[in-house]
Every structure is written in C-alpha cells, then in structure tokens.
Amino acid sequence: MSSPSVRKISETILDFGEPLLSQLDAVLPLAVVQSTFKVVITVWNAHGMATPRWAQPQFLADLNERMCDPEMPPEMVQAFRTLSQRRLEQFANDGRAVGEWSLVMEADQWRLRCDARAPNDR
C-alpha cells in the first residue's frame, strides 16, 4: 500500500468507508449514495481535525456528543463506531481532510471525486 501522502484521498476514503460503501450499488438513488458518503467523509474529517496537525478537536467532540443523543438512529451510531474504530486502527497517521467532493456515475458505478486539504491549505 502506498503512503497516505502519495495515495489519492479518494482511494483512501473508499478504503476507509468500505464497511458502509460496500452496501451501495448502482441502482440506489443518488441521494442515498450521497448521504452515505457524507457520513463517511464527516467521520473522516472529524477525526482528522482532532489530530495535533489540525488542533481542532471540537468537531469530533461534537460528533461524539450527537451520537449520544437518544434520538440518533442506532444504525447511525453503529456506523460512527465502526468508522471511528477503523480510522484509529488503520488510518490514524493520515492527517488529510476531504475538501470539495462529488459523485459521478461511470460504467454503472459511483465514482468519488474529491480534493485533500491540509492545515496549510486553509
């Protein structure tokens, strides 16, 4: 596997989000696919922002707090836990965040296009 700084952020996000993204297929409406990617990218960015490189832990703290809300759907809480554990175990050294992103349909599958952000990009 290539290092985080060399590997495209889109490839990293697809790998990171695999537990949720593997449940998607081309027949799902764009809104469903986008909302799943939004969850994946939100968790990714919240963990990235909490690193010393970004020094903005409030995003992850806020997300953690929202997951404790009794109104939060259990499947969302489980997705958050799964992705958070995956981020810490497999992607902890990747300090990039996802900036602009979009999905396009190519060859009957969704393709993620996104750009990486680093603290000095702000």
Locate the domains of the chain by residue range: 9-116
Question: What pLDDT score does 44 carry?
Answer: 98
First-to-last alpha carbon distance for the chain, in angstroms, is 28
Strands of 8-108 (E only): list them.
Answer: 97-106
| pTM check: above 0.85 | yes
Tens of pLDDT, residues 66-110: 999 999 999 999 999 999 999 999 999 999 999 999 998 888 778
Rounded CA-CA distance 87/96 in Å is: 12
- Rounded to the nearest 5°, which phi and psi values hold at 59? -65, -45
Give the DSSP H or E segment for 116: strand 109-117
Does residue 59 contact residue 45 with C-beta atoms inside 8 Å? yes
